[in-house]
Amino acid sequence: MTAGKNNSNNNLSKIISFVISKGFQIHPDALTLIEKIQDNYFQVIEEILLDKKKKKEKSMVIRTEDIKNFVKIPNYNKANENNNYQLIISETKTSSSSFPSSTMTKYDNIKNKENETIEDEILFSIKKNSLNKYIEKMDENFKIIYDTNDKINSSEGIEGYTSLFRSRYEKSLRILSLRQDSKRVKKIEIIKQLFNQSKINYNSISKEEANNPVFIAAGLVMEKDIKNNNYDITIDDQTGLLTATTYDEELKKQISMLAVDQMVMIEFEINSKKRKNTIKNLFSLDVPDRIPNRSKSEIFSILISDLHIGSKFFMEKEFQNFLEWLNGNDRDSKDIISKIKYICICGDLIDGIGIFPNQDRELLEKDSLSQMDHAINILSKIPKHMKVFLIPGNHDLGRRALPQPAIPKKYAEKLYSLNNITTLGNPCMINIEGIKILMFHGQSLDDIIASIPGLSYSKPAEAMKILLRSRHLSPIYGQRTPIAPEKEDMMVIEEVPDILHSGHVHVIDVDSYKGTLLVNSGAWQSQTPFQQTMGITPTPGIAIAINLSNLKPFKIDFNN
């Protein structure tokens, strides 16, 4: 080990000890970041802790956002983040972005931001400090990138929604700013001032702009209006509203795929005679084409969701088959079982009560706490060396509105005593073995399937693509998906995942989009009378296993 590395380990140890001595913890990512500040770590940490105390924050963890809010860190500014982004894009151009099995060797060149040597350094210093919690986490090689549970702090009323949408707009604008053409984006208010629809203000507009009045505006979609031959779209960018029109078939199709309230960038030409703004181009945020991360060794994660324990339709026998399989040594799948280290459960663990009218007719257990006991009993049969990540769905205990906090401890004491289970909020992002998994139960998929032509319950991964394209997990506001008036919009997909895992729809579907693997992990509940009337045909009793070394998915069927 070099002298530099030793120094660095020393510093990291000191930072950890200092933070712990103050009764706090520090997220490994935050540790990496703070180490980049040359000399004033302790001052920065003191200030962050003081600020946390002032704000009466519940979380006792220092995270990267805390540090970014406080200092300008050398070598870790936006430009640097963009470089990583660029690197990923350019690598992607040379290889396929579908499932990587056949192009594996090409992946070796890509430096994984999460896997750089700094992690070894942290591990070393943490071990030296014998901080059991961290050792446990690092040995298992997982990190929680973000957990909405830590940030939930619902504000009330209209005030809350105003700041929620402002936050959505600002985060979306930050994502847009990675595009070259976004430099031309002008505020709607300014465009209106410059070009007053009827007369041009030649003092404030360049000659070129006056002769060729093409502008770009970016805002959240307010309204989409299909006329006979044309399609009107209205956007809001916090400074004003702008309506633009198109007769072009391709653009019309593009508009039909946009969700109301998602961010969009419109290039349009002003025709003052006709008093019309004609759309020339339309861009949604989307995700860049990229090559996903992969684990160094062959490790598997199981993805499941929607058990609905307590429902008459919970397929307990099939789920027991699954548990036996996990615990046993089935000869055909021995190779996989021995390599399973993680299980992600994407919500609707129990069926709950009062979730929809007359639900009690469909319940075997009519008390959600006893359903939860039953569920804990079942989860305790998962082998203890497998790490379980559990998020809530719309049937679970706790708040219903998104983002949802983790299943509250007060309803599930025993769940919290199972050491291999980590309960997280919905949505959340974890990093296991270098793979970023965005877990989201999928409540908004109902709204997306209902409002975007061509989508159906039989192919939920198609609807999941809309989430990635709009860079938002619940783009449409005001339909069936309840959204809480949080100050910050935590549903914006700021960081592009390697895997997007959802459930809710009860139909297994696997696909990929620009390098991200999309998994809807089905259910363990057979068709309910309601689903029958809706024409939803679930595909229950199947688990998805992902080989994290190449993101290859496998369906494992436990129906007999």
Contacts with Zn ion: how many residues (CB under 5 A)? 4
Instruction: Find which of ligand D5M, Fe ion, Zn ion, none residue 351 binds, CB within 5 to 8 Å per kind.
Output: none
> Which is nearer to Fe ion, 290 or 395 (by Cβ)?
395
Q: How many other C-beta atoms are found inside a 10 Å radius of the C-beta of residue 46? A: 13
Residue 150 in the binding site for Fe ion (CB under 5 A): no
> Which is nearer to ligand D5M, 53 or 480 (by Cβ)?
480
3-class DSSP state for residue 193? helix
**Of all residues in this chain, which one has the CB nearest to Zn ion in the complex?**
504
Residues 6+ apart with CB under 8 A from 207: none
Enumerate binding residues for ligand D5M (CB under 6 A): 306, 348, 356, 394-395, 446, 504-506, 530-531, 536
CB of 395 to Fe ion, least distance (A): 6
Residue 504 in the binding site for Zn ion (CB under 5 A): yes
How many Å apart are CA 270 and CA 178, to the nearest integer? 26
CA triple 465-468-469, angle to 5 deg: 85
Q: How are beta strands 435-439 and 499-502 bridged, if at all?
A: parallel
DSSP 393: -
x/- mask, Zn ion, residues 392-421, rule CB under 5 A, reads -xx---------------------------
Residue 351 in the binding site for Fe ion (CB under 5 A): no
Residue spans of alpha helices (H) in 339-410:
368-379
Structure tokens at 285: 């945020």
For the chain, what is the largest distance between any 2 Cα atoms, rounded to a whole number of angstroms? 80
CB of 403 to Fe ion, least distance (A): 18
Instruction: Find which of Zn ion, Fe ion, ligand D5M, none residue 247 binds, CB within 5 to 8 Å per kind.
Output: none
Question: Could you tell me if 296 and 535 are in contact, meaning their C-beta atoms sit under 8 angstroms apart?
Answer: no
> Which is nearer to ligand D5M, 145 or 476 (by Cβ)?
476
> Which is nearer to Zn ion, 261 or 348 (by Cβ)?
348
How many Å apart are CA 327 and CA 343, to the nearest integer? 13
Alpha carbon of residue 537 to chain centroid: 26
Q: Residue 221: beta bridge partners?
A: 235
Instruction: Find which of ligand D5M, Zn ion, Fe ion, none residue 431 binds, CB within 5 to 8 Å per kind.
Output: none
How many Å apart are CA 489 and CA 491, to the nearest integer? 5
Residue spans of alpha helices (H) in 55-206:
64-70, 78-92, 104-107, 118-128, 132-140, 157-176, 188-194
For 4, 216, 410, the CA distances from 422, given in Å and listed in that order, are 36, 45, 15
335-354 binders of Zn ion (CB under 5 A) = 348
CB of 393 to Fe ion, least distance (A): 6
Residue 348 in the binding site for Fe ion (CB under 5 A): yes
**Of all residues in this chain, which one has the CB nearest to ligand D5M in the complex?**
356
> Which is nearer to ligand D5M, 348 or 365 (by Cβ)?
348
> Which is nearer to Zn ion, 472 or 504 (by Cβ)?
504
Structure tokens at 441: 């139960």
Instruction: Find which of Zn ion, ligand D5M, Fe ion, none residue 356 binds, CB within 5 to 8 Å per kind.
Output: ligand D5M
Instruction: Find which of ligand D5M, Zn ion, Fe ion, none residue 531 binds, CB within 5 to 8 Å per kind.
Output: ligand D5M
272-311 binders of Fe ion (CB under 5 A) = 306
Instruction: Find which of Zn ion, ligand D5M, Fe ion, none residue 66 binds, CB within 5 to 8 Å per kind.
Output: none
> Which is nearer to ligand D5M, 89 or 536 (by Cβ)?
536
Residues 6+ apart with CB under 8 A from 290: 88, 89, 91, 92, 97, 496, 514, 515, 516
How many Å apart are CA 486 and CA 507, to the nearest integer? 31
How close are the terminal C-alpha atoms of the chain, in Å? Answer: 55
How many Å apart are CA 290 and CA 116, to the nearest integer? 19
3-class DSSP state for residue 39? coil
Question: Is the C-alpha dihedral spanning 323, 327, 328, 334 positive or negative?
Answer: positive
CB of 395 to ligand D5M, least distance (A): 6
> Which is nearer to Fe ion, 425 or 538 (by Cβ)?
538
CB of 305 to Zn ion, least distance (A): 8
> Which is nearer to Fe ion, 119 or 306 (by Cβ)?
306
Instruction: Find which of Zn ion, ligand D5M, Fe ion, none residue 446 binds, CB within 5 to 8 Å per kind.
Output: ligand D5M
How many Å apart are CA 435 and CA 142, to the nearest integer? 9
> Which is nearer to Zn ion, 396 or 511 (by Cβ)?
396
Contacts with Fe ion: how many residues (CB under 5 A)? 2
Question: Could you tell me if 303 and 521 are in contact, meaning their C-beta atoms sit under 8 angstroms apart?
Answer: yes
CB of 394 to Zn ion, least distance (A): 5
Q: How are beta strands 231-236 and 300-304 bridged, if at all?
A: unpaired
How many Å apart are CA 182 and CA 368, to the nearest integer? 50
Residue 446 in the binding site for Fe ion (CB under 5 A): no
23-42 binders of Zn ion (CB under 5 A) = none
CB of 346 to Zn ion, least distance (A): 9
> Which is nearer to Fe ion, 45 or 523 (by Cβ)?
523
CB of 303 to Fe ion, least distance (A): 15
Q: Which stretch in 8-16, 341-349, 369-377, 474-482 sits in contact with Fe ion by CB under 5 A?
A: 341-349
CB of 439 to ligand D5M, least distance (A): 15
3-class DSSP state for residue 256? helix
List residues near Fe ion by CB under 5 A.
306, 348
Sites of contact with Zn ion (CB under 5 A): 348, 393-394, 504
